[in-house]
Structure 1
Amino acid sequence: MLKKLLKFFVISFIVISVIIMFSTPIIVKYLTGRARIVGKPAQAEIFIDEKEKSDAKLFISNSNFEGTQKRDYLILYLDDVKDYNGIPVLIIDKEHKVLMFPNSGKEDYDIIFKNLFQSDSGANVMIPVNNKVKGLGFEPDLIFEDKVIKFKISAENKIYDVTINIS
């Protein structure tokens, strides 16, 4: 009886582990040291084309992936990636006033229990939006006004106005 119960728990654990690995691959990356937790979202209101996007979240990143260099990044997580050419996040480099996107996909950024997880590949390869070769090839017109950030993003042959009000 004890052997059957133990076997049941082992099989259940394996099945649950496989389900988690396939449904949220960032967890496997985190457990193997290839992802980190950036943190919980900052207090911010995000508007795209003057409509509030409650599913979009803003996170603050103060260091590189390894934690060896200071950064002043805001990470805008876009939950509905199909609307934005598959781009899961936009990174705002406040120090250099550059809008970038990572050379990665949804599997490199995910929100779990309100925390943003970021993989090493999602953190280390970023492309400026205005890069004519690998970027989106247009000027995002990034503007900082006190606690308001404005820029444009191009997706699906349309230009979107993005406004972030940081509380």
Structure 2
Amino acid sequence: MRCWAAAALASCTQDTPQDAASASSPASPSAAPADNADQAEQAASEPTEEPALPAEPAPEAVRDAFATLQATLNDTCTPGAGDCAYFLGRVTQELTELDEAMRADPKGPGHFKQPLADMKTLFTKLGTDRSTPHLEKHFSAIVTTRDGINTWMQDHPDDYR
């Protein structure tokens, strides 16, 4: 779909299958030179720059990421009992998002040195395996990291209020 802005109104036209085919192939021999000139003139008057879109969404603010991690504080599970898949997956995801938010925070990763080091230690233990049996194997490390970060954040209220 191509859109052109005209004054305060924007009008849009939808490419037809024929337009799409001609745009992806060289000009057909049957096209009249005047048509090609008109198309070239029209293309020259079209804006050539697309609006810049962020490469990927910005990480959550530390406050928001910490709030979702805090929501897991009263939750637990019993490894091996079949009730840990959601809990450990969620805590691990919340820690990952908090790690990203701390690294992107304007205060810089140096401000969050201890929690980032704790999460790095955990993520090194976990590797890329996020299966329930693997997370259950590291249950204590996951919960200890979560609780340690909670304690650190409580001593730094300016980071989450």
Q: Name the TM-score, length of structure 1 as normaliser.
A: 0.26
Between Structure 1 and Structure 2, the one with more strand by share is 1
Q: Which has the larger radius of gyration?
A: 2
Between Structure 1 and Structure 2, the one with more helix by share is 2
Q: Name the TM-score, length of structure 2 as normaliser.
A: 0.27
